[in-house]
Amino acid sequence: MPSMSKKRSGSPSGHCNKRIRFENGDEGEDADTDQENHFMDLECAGEVGDAGIVESITLKNFMCHSHLGPFAFGANVNFVVGNNGSGKSAILTALIVALGGTAHTTNRGSSLKSFVKEGESSADVSITLRNEGRDAYKPEVYGPAVTVDLRITREGLRTYKMRSKSGQIISTKKEDLVSMLDSFNIQVNNPVSILTQEMSKYFLHSKGEGDKYRFFMKATLLEQMREDFIYIKETHKITQDKVEQHNEILKELKQKYLEKEDRFKSLTSLGEMTNNLKELQKQMAWALVTEMEKNLEPLKERLRAENLSTEKYDEKVNEWKNKVKEAEEKYKQIQERLEGIAQQVQELQPKSTALKAEAQNRNALLKSSEVTVHRCKASLRDLEKDKSQLSSRIKDLQFNISQITGAESQARAERVKEVQTELENVNHWISTLGQQIDQYQHACSRAKEEQGKMRREQEQLQRSIEANKRNVKTLESSRSNRLRRFGDHMPALLSTIEDAHRRGQFKQKPRGPLGFLINLKDPELALAVEVCLKGQLQAFTCDSYEDEKVLQGLMAEVFQGGRRPAIITSKFLPHVHDTRKRAVNHPHYLSVLQALEIEDPVVANCLIDQRGIESILLIKDRTEARRVMQGKRPPQNCTQAFSKDGDQIFTNRSYTAEQNRANYLSRDVEEEIRHLQREIENQEGQAARFRQQMNKLDDDIKQNERLLRRAQIEQKSAKAKATKYHLELTDLQNVEEPQSEDLRPLEEDLQEVVTKIAAKCAEYDKARAEMAKLKADYEKADLEYNQHKEHINTFSEEVDSVKEDLNKSDQEVLKCRHHKKHYDEKRSAHLQNIQTLEKNLNNKEKDLQASVAKAQEICQDRVEVRRTPKSLDNEIQRLKVKITSQQEQQGDPAEIMRQFHEAQENYKNTSQQIKSLNSFIKSLTGIMDSRLQVYAELRRFLSARCKYFFHTMLAQRGYSGSVTFDHKKETLSISVQPGQANKADLNDMRALSGGERSFSTVCFVLSLWAITEAPFRCLDEFDVYMDMVNRRISMDMMLKVAAGQGNRQFIFLTPQSMSSLPESEGICILRLKDPDRSQNDRERSEDMDQ
């Protein structure tokens, strides 16, 4: 078979028990065999797998279409139906171009840029090919389908993207596309795979028999094989020419080799002098060795002396090392003492804060009481002034009325003085009222600020109460199901995951929530572990991103509108990570990984990867945790630690936990419920106290506002009184005679003022008594606070003393370290000196060994030499001069030997190459002769089978005909006789009607399909010239062929409606919409205007 037939797949149906193989075929098949059996053979021949068939095509801005598709093709028979201009040819052209074809192959344009729609910058084509079965191309990478995306720019550039089934871009190289097409055996430029209208007109409907022959050769790939043979013959000729050229060169090399051989044989002198020179060189080599051995002895002696003095340095270093250790121990003891005092101060601090707050509260109450007393006192003072003024006024009026003498002017003068005094008093009172108004306003604003702060605290407390109530409800529901601790929707989510896993939606079942899959060895560490893991407790983990997408969909169904758990995607492994190199191993404390019981390795690996639980320590005591982590030598590989209270401690900082109870990992549910209920009761009590304080603040604000309004009224009244005094003063200064006034209203006012003074005195006494009580309470609270503060100050003084001792100890440590460093440096310098001596000694010994090796290369056995190297060198130089003078007469022997060996090597290599080439040419000639015979035999077999299948196809219609091949002239003629006429009177296809000729063409194409293989066949408007009868018969034939080849895809493009097709699951009809003629006319009009 041709190289096109790569795939070998089994029969898809049980009734087909064999495949037609051309190697076993016979040109003379039994002509009397039943046609139905022949047709079944045709159906079974050349079946392929699912790999390579077209699943869908999508076009965008391609040719004259803005958007076509996506078109989903069936696995067997597909009809693309539509009127002219609807996009049938565009689909076929896009299939060719997207799978590597050129614009010339499509016969639709001269270049790729002509396929971009007018007015657009680029065109896009997306084709999805099936990638299943044993012939799938890299199924582990691409999955069950491969999508090829092509983009053609306006400049004619095209780029490819090859995507997997999941949409991931795998490659953008055309080489990978070509490799995939070779694997699928897809050849878009082969007319048997894709037969366009233009190709059909050129080859099948052409009148030239040579065109039909070329079509046959191209379809069966025989033309490609022939071109390969031609190329090999040309290479064979070039190789023969090179061999002839090398034969000429070989003769020259042989002549040169013989000349060098004669010159080499003429060398018979200089032997004795050369031997003497070699002997002297041997003595010279060992004389140098002897001299170097003598020079090594002083260096070795000095090194021994230095090694003896090393012990003294070691003693000094160890002495100061012990002193440093003692000083550090003392420093550590003082530091621990200081930490203990600091811990005591820290424990006393909350009580100090509470006492201070109590004293401040008492002080605030006292201040408020003082304001009340001051207000009562001021009111009494004002009333006394009013009483005095009224009494004085009454006396003045009485005096003025009783006096009718010249003393009136003196009385007016005295009255003027009194009015001025009263005016000054009123102005002073107005100023006092202004200060009181400022105080009341400040008190109101301060109370409102405190009220706002308390309102925010009350809201936060209410939210905490509601959260605790929800937690109580969750814990009560988790009595029977611990999973509900992680959320009310969590049981439903796990049930949904289990159902999806049973249906095969997950490759690996997701794990979660992670907190549900772990258990604590020590319940006391529940809060520490919970604070450490945080959000990971409610998270899920998936094996792949595909499983993650499925899980996200399930969560969206269960958690509608709510917050979803996090998803961690990591490859599932059957064993726990090896953390021995990076895990913390402490002799007294466990890591988080060691403190947990985790049965599932997937959960353990997830927590190791996400949180690093193998490098986090759990230390119950907070102080001990700080000592371990923030000491001079933190544990190796430890990144942080957690106390049982949830405090997080690093080497340079620490953080306090925001929660004080474990919500997910606690085992005692009832205790948790009781604790939360007690906390809710306390919070509700606190909320009640907040409400009382808010009510009290409201009362204070109202009282201060009332006092503020009263002060403002009094200020207004005082200002009116001041105005009145101004007017009176003016009248007294301008009026000469006093006016008699009625005394009764003044006396009534005086009586009213006296009554008010009595009531205000009682209020003043009560306020003073209350102030005295509050003052005593404040002094008591302040005394208690000062005593507690003094107690803390006592510790602070002790801290100062300990700090001083710590500083002294630190200085002692620094001093010891300085001396230790001094002796360490001296010892290091001493050791460095020894290393330098050893290095020099080693170098000289290496030089000695190298010298010995060189001497052994010259003379293997050591030679005892008594002469010095200098005398030997002088004699060697004299002998070399003699040898050189003699070589100048005869030439350099070494050069002569080198030239001889070089010529000998060149001659042998070239001779061997020519032999190899001659052997290759001989072998290639035999192979070519054999291959050409096989090629001729294959061509004969394919021709015979084509004739056979063509005859079988025509018989379906009751026609007879023949296909005649002339391989020498490279022609192919087709003769057809319609009906049952004499078979001898076969007509040329040009004598047939249009429908008969189209039917014959279809038969010829089907016969070519039978002898070639491809995953899909495309045929464009095969029935355009057929009448109804031929169309029906042709259609039945093609459907019958397609039905027998279930794993091969057929795509037929036709303008017919195909309404008469039988209903079948294997037949898919794609109906294209009619083109928008008005839009096309409008576009043509715009083009003409432009």
| Per-residue pLDDT tens over the stretch 713-763 | 888 888 888 888 778 777 776 654 444 445 677 777 777 877 888 887 888
pLDDT at residue 383 greater than cutoff 50: yes
The one-letter code for the residue type at 984 is: A
3-state secondary structure of 60: strand
pLDDT at residue 690 greater than cutoff 60: yes
pLDDT band at 439 (very low <50, low <70, confident <90, very high): confident
Q: Which pLDDT score is estimated for 150? A: 93
Q: Which pLDDT score is estimated for 734? A: 66
pLDDT at residue 1010 greater than cutoff 50: yes
Mean pLDDT of all residues in 84-111? 83
Comparing CA positions, the residue from 1067, 1087, 1068, 1071 lying closest to residue 1079 is: 1087
pLDDT at residue 1045 greater than cutoff 80: no
How far, in Å, CA of 756 to CA of 475, rounded? 66
pLDDT at residue 36 greater than cutoff 50: no
Q: Which residue has the higher pLDDT, 479 or 780?
A: 780
pLDDT at residue 471 greater than cutoff 80: no
The one-letter code for the residue type at 73 is: F
pLDDT at residue 57 greater than cutoff 70: yes
pLDDT at residue 396 greater than cutoff 80: no
Comparing CA positions, the residue from 869, 854, 847 lying closest to residue 280 is: 869
pLDDT at residue 1081 greater than cutoff 80: no
pLDDT band at 888 (very low <50, low <70, confident <90, very high): low
Q: Which pLDDT score is estimated for 7? A: 38
Percent of the chain with pLDDT over 90: 12
Q: Which pLDDT score is estimated for 1? A: 40
- What would the pLDDT profile of 252-281 be if each residue is shown by its tens digit? 888 887 877 766 665 555 556 677 777 777
Our separate counts of H helices and E strands in the chain read: 24, 23
pLDDT at residue 1024 greater than cutoff 90: no
Give the strand order in the sheet containing 987-988: 960-966, 971-977, 987-988
Mean pLDDT of all residues in 597-620? 92
pLDDT at residue 42 greater than cutoff 50: no
Q: Which residue has the higher pLDDT, 45 or 697?
A: 697
Q: Which residue has the higher pLDDT, 911 or 996?
A: 911
- What would the pLDDT profile of 123-182 be if each residue is shown by its tens digit? 999 999 999 888 889 999 999 999 999 999 988 888 999 999 999 999 999 899 989 988
Mean pLDDT of all residues in 554-562? 83
pLDDT band at 403 (very low <50, low <70, confident <90, very high): low
Q: Which pLDDT score is estimated for 249? A: 83
Task: Report the run of H or E that residue 1067 belongs to, with start and end.
Answer: strand 1067-1071
Q: Which pLDDT score is estimated for 29? A: 37
How far, in Å, CA of 339 to CA of 327, rounded? 18
As a whole number of angstroms, the longest Cα–Cα distance in the chain is 180
- DSSP state letters, 304-334: HHHHHTHHHHHHHHHHHHHHHHHHHHHHHHH
pLDDT at residue 9 greater than cutoff 50: no
Instruction: Say whether pTM exceeds 0.85.
Output: no
How far, in Å, CA of 871 to CA of 891, rounded? 29
Comparing CA positions, the residue from 1034, 1048, 1022 lying closest to residue 953 is: 1034
pLDDT band at 431 (very low <50, low <70, confident <90, very high): confident
pLDDT at residue 550 greater than cutoff 80: yes
Which residues, other chains included, contact 551 with Cβ-Cβ below 8 Å and sequence gap of 6+? Answer: 497, 506, 510, 540, 542, 567
Q: Which pLDDT score is estimated for 409? A: 65
Q: Which residue has the higher pLDDT, 74 or 671?
A: 74
Task: Report the run of H or E that residue 460 belongs to, with start and end.
Answer: helix 407-477
Bridge partner list, 151:
124, 159
Give the pair of three-digit tokens for residue 58.
Answer: 């999508």
Q: Which pLDDT score is estimated for 35? A: 39
Range name among 3-12, 174-183, 539-548, 772-781 with the lowest pLDDT average: 3-12
Q: What are the b/e assignments for 89-98, b being 16+ CB within 10 Å?
A: bbbbbbbbbb
How confident is the prediction for the chain on average, in pLDDT?
A: 79
Task: Report the run of H or E that residue 65 belongs to, with start and end.
Answer: strand 65-72
Q: CA-CA distances (angstroms) from residue 1014 to 2, 43, 49, 1073? A: 12, 14, 10, 30
* Dihedral pair phi/psi, residue 29, rounded to 5°: -60, 150
Comparing CA positions, the residue from 778, 173, 737 lying closest to residue 412 is: 737
Q: Which pLDDT score is estimated for 668? A: 62
Give the pair of three-digit tokens for residue 54.
Answer: 């077209």
Q: Which residue has the higher pLDDT, 954 or 142?
A: 142
Range name among 1-15, 67-81, 425-439, 650-664 with the lowest pLDDT average: 1-15
Asked whether 568 and 542 are in contact (CB, 8 A), the reply is yes
- What would the pLDDT profile of 835-878 be if each residue is shown by its tens digit? 888 888 888 888 878 888 887 777 777 777 777 888 888 888 88
